[in-house]
């Protein structure tokens, strides 16, 4: 799933009240933060083009370990147990949201699958479904994901949710629309 879809899903499932929306959003974002750091580093510091970044550098073992460490279900489980033992509702929501992100990625990544069971195993589940790759039904599932994101965010905006939830839902819709416009101009228009 795309990061914005993870945010909307987490708000729907674990965090749409005043006390839980912040840790839900944080937990939805953390598994993808290493990828953003990677991309900014590769573009801004190393000066690599997108094609090289996503076809070659992304798959280098050290970078894969960096990404996979933040997508580890055993790490999430340890964090969730610690949150329960500490009786910390925000930490519980954070790790539930992180777990939701990881499980969704487990189901929707093929060539770019994470090692979701680190450090217990290096195994990657290469799903027969991809949220983005047309060779693995990405056109269908990407469209369904986008529809779910727009519908989910719209409902969050219409319900009497806390202002922060509404800001995140509206911001996610705006960012998604801006990215779609950019993609149409940059990728389709060239």
pLDDT by residue for the chain (190 residues), tens digit each?
A: 899 999 999 999 998 899 999 999 999 999 999 999 999 999 999 999 999 999 999 999 999 999 999 999 999 999 999 999 999 999 999 999 999 999 999 999 999 999 999 999 999 999 999 999 999 999 999 999 999 999 999 999 999 999 999 999 999 999 998 888 887 887 676 5
Residues 6+ apart with CB under 8 A from 169: 8, 11, 152, 153, 154, 156, 157, 161
Q: How far is CA 148 from CA 28, 93, 137, 144, 179, in A?
A: 16, 22, 16, 6, 16
pLDDT at position 79 is 98
Tokens of 33: 């933060």
pLDDT at position 185 is 83
pLDDT at position 39 is 97
pLDDT at position 186 is 76
Q: Would you say 28 and 153 are in contact if contact means Cβ atoms under 8 Å apart? A: no
CA angle 54, 152, 21 (to 5 degrees): 85
Radius of gyration of the chain (CA): 17
Residues 6+ apart with CB under 8 A from 96: 13, 14, 24, 27, 80
Selection from 108, 98, 118 nearest residue 29 by Cα: 98
Contacts of residues 39-44 at CB distance under 8 Å and 24 or more positions apart, as own/partner, are none
Q: Would you say 14 and 98 are in contact if contact means Cβ atoms under 8 Å apart? A: no
pLDDT at position 16 is 83
d(CA 144, CA 136): 14
């Amino acid at each position: 799933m795309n990061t914005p879809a993870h945010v909307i899903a987490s708000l729907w499932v674990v965090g749409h009240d005043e006390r839980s929306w912040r840790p839900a959003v944080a937990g939805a974002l953390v598994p993808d933060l290493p990828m953003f750091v990677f991309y900014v580093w590769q573009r801004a510091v190393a000066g690599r083009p997108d094609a090289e970044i996503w076809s070659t550098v992304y798959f280098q073992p050290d970078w894969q370990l960096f990404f996979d460490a933040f997508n580890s279900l055993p790490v999430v489980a340890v964090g969730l147990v610690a949150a329960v033992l500490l009786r910390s509702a925000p930490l519980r929501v954070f790790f539930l949201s992180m777990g939701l992100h990881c499980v969704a990625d487990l189901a929707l990544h093929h060539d770019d699958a994470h090692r979701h069971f680190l450090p217990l195993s290096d195994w990657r589940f290469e799903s027969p479904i991809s949220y983005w790759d047309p060779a693995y039904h990405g056109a269908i599932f990407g469209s369904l994901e986008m529809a779910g994101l727009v519908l989910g965010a719209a409902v969050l905006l219409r319900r009497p949710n806390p202002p922060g939830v509404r800001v995140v839902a509206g911001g996610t819709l705006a960012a998604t629309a801006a990215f779609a416009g950019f993609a149409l101009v940059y990728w389709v228009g060239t």
